[in-house]
């Protein structure tokens, strides 16, 4: 698995230091608001677990599974909801936890959905942002790292469902996916 990685971009230690900072910022923003913190599965599962341990104020959690990449390195453009929330968002302060914003399609779809369901506020924290990939206008409220134009894996992010369990973020060797 490690042999398929061209370069480690962000180490485990750098990830944890940034997540601690984000947790402190969010604890300030959401004190006394009991936000509904929504994990966008599958990619954000590790970030969600590490982030909520760094939030020191009361929160509630929920999970949504969304997919648009399949076994590809470009978004299909069709955002499929595979698992919906268990909780109603009406009147709630909602914080979406994403692993990466690339084209922006997943988040623009989700934000519209949650606003249509009458959430009181919808904000986004993303660990990674790849601005070079954007096809729609989309900015997170809180961002961990800005990434270069490369397909990355690890720390929850996959290529064809593999590499999610790498503890760091790495650039995948292009020969792994050029047969697409």
Ligand X SMILES: O=P(O)(O)OC[C@H]1O[C@H](OP(=O)(O)OP(=O)(O)O)[C@H](O)[C@@H]1O
Which residue numbers are catalytic? 102
Residue window 116-155: x/- pattern of binding to ligand X, with contact defined by CB under 6 A = ----------------------------------------
Alpha helices in 30-85 (DSSP H): 45-52
Task: Evaluate whether 172 touches 151 at the Cβ level (below 8 Å).
Answer: yes
Nearer to ligand X, 22 or 96 (CB): 96
The rounded distance, in Å, linking the Cα atoms of 2 and 119 is 42
In whole angstroms, how close is the CB of 156 to ligand X at the nearest point? 7
Task: Evaluate whether 15 touches 72 at the Cβ level (below 8 Å).
Answer: no
Contact between 87 and ligand X (CB under 6 A)?
no
Stretch that binds ligand HPA, among 6-14, 52-60, 111-119, 146-154 (CB under 6 A): 146-154
Rg (CA), the chain: 16
Q: 37, 96, 100, 124: which one contacts ligand X (CB under 6 A)?
A: 100
Kindly state the tokens that stand for 138: 């989309």
Kindly state the tokens that stand for 176: 């792994």
Which residues bind to ligand HPA, rule: CB under 6 A?
69, 100, 102, 151-153, 157-158
């Amino acid at each position: 698995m490690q042999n398929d990685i061209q370069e480690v971009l962000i180490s485990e230690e750098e990830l944890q230091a940034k997540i601690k900072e984000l947790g402190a910022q969010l604890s300030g923003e959401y004190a006394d608001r009991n936000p509904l913190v929504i994990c966008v599965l599958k990619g954000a599962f590790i970030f969600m677990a590490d982030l909520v341990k760094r939030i020191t104020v009361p929160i509630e959690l929920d999970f949504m599974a969304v997919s648009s990449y399949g076994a590809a390195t470009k978004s299909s453009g069709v955002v499929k909801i595979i698992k919906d929330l268990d909780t109603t968002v009406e009147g709630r302060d909602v914080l979406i936890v994403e692993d990466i914003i690339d084209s922006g399609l997943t988040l623009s779809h989700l934000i519209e959905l949650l606003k249509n369901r009458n959430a009181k506020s919808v904000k986004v924290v993303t660990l990674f942002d790849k601005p070079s990939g954007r096809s729609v206008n989309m900015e997170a409220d809180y961002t961990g790292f800005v990434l270069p134009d490369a397909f990355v894996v690890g720390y929850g992010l996959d290529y064809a469902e593999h590499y999610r369990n790498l503890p760091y973020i790495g650039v995948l060797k292009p020969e792994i996916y050029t047969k697409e």
